[in-house]
Amino acid sequence: MLLRLLMGDVDIIASTDKIGNVFGVNDDQKDGDGRVYADSAYKLDENNFEALRWVAILTGAATDFMGPKERAEQGHIFKEYLDKAIKINPNEFTLLHLRGRFTFEVATLSWIEKKVCNALFTTLPDASIDMALQDFIEAEHNVTFAWAENLLYLARCYAMKKDKDNAQIYLDKVDKIEKKDDMIHEQMSEIKTLITKCR
């Protein structure tokens, strides 16, 4: 495997994050190393789906630790990777969900936040709740299990669109999931509050 890695085998490079999981590499080191490997794999073959998937996922994860300017710049790159990977495999629910979240985050920025980003950093990509909702719906159609996080975003989008009935449908689906952590319960409470404000 090392020889294949040194010779630039894209599939091996793209899967090194999995190797980090097996050998218990710490998360900070793994994320940084994973992104380096994913970037290398992507540069070797920009049309390799696994390389694209991992470079997108790890680029998105890296933005959590960046300042506003770098985060805005990397956000564009993240979105480009997602779009390209989804074009290759339009049924990949994880990437659809991530693109939906990215779009949702941009769409829900306040007017002043959007102005500041556009003036100081970079032009924000087009984003709307409807665009985010479409990706969450597609992710839901392609996932093979009850995915609380995606269901919650569906409920949140419908609540923001003042569609109380559909918001409640997805919230009820989350409620039926047996094992839910505290974060899921907290998000459910927030969405219930949004639903009560629907007119």
DSSP letters spanning 115-157 = HHIIIII-PPPP--HHHHHHHHHHHHHH-SS--HHHHHHHHHH
Q: What is the pLDDT of residue 22?
A: 39
Predicted pLDDT of residue 121: 67
- Nearest alpha carbon to residue 72 among 118, 39, 111, 9: 118
Mean pLDDT of 177-192: 84
pLDDT, residue 27, reads 52
What residue spans define the domains of the chain?
A: 1-65, 68-144, 147-199
Task: Share the mean pLDDT of the chain.
Answer: 81
> 47: which DSSP letter?
T
Find, among 112, 53, 58, 39, the residue nearest to 83 by Cα. Answer: 53
The helix (run of H) or strand (run of E) holding residue 109 is none
What pLDDT does residue 30 have?
A: 47
User: Highest mean pLDDT range out of 76-80, 83-87, 119-123, 176-180?
Assistant: 83-87
Q: Confidence band (pLDDT; 50, 70, 90) for 9?
A: very low
Q: What is the pLDDT of residue 20?
A: 44
| Rounded mean pLDDT, 23-27 | 43
Cβ contact 134:112 at 8 Å: no
Nearest by Cα to 140 from 96, 184, 88, 77: 96
Q: Is the pLDDT of residue 94 over 90?
A: yes
pLDDT band of residue 112 (cuts 50, 70, 90) is: confident
Q: 167, 198 in Cβ contact below 8 A?
A: yes
Token pair 């630790």 in the structure block, residue: 65
Cβ contacts of 152 within 8 Å, gap of 6 or more: 170, 171, 174, 184, 187, 188, 191
Rounded mean pLDDT, 42-54: 89
pLDDT at 61: 86
- Say yes or no to pLDDT of 13 above 50: no
* Mean pLDDT, residues 116-133: 83
Local structure of residue 65 (DSSP, 8 states): G
What count of other Cβ atoms lies within 10 Å of the Cβ of residue 35? Answer: 18
What are the pLDDT digits (tens) for 26-39? 455 445 677 888 88
Residue 24 has pLDDT above 50, yes or no: no
Q: Percentage helix, strand, coil, to 5, in the chain? A: 75, 0, 25
pLDDT at 180 exceeding the cut of 70:
yes
**How many Cα neighbours within 13 Å face the side chain of 51?**
18
What's the pTM value of the predicted model, to 2 decimals? Answer: 0.80
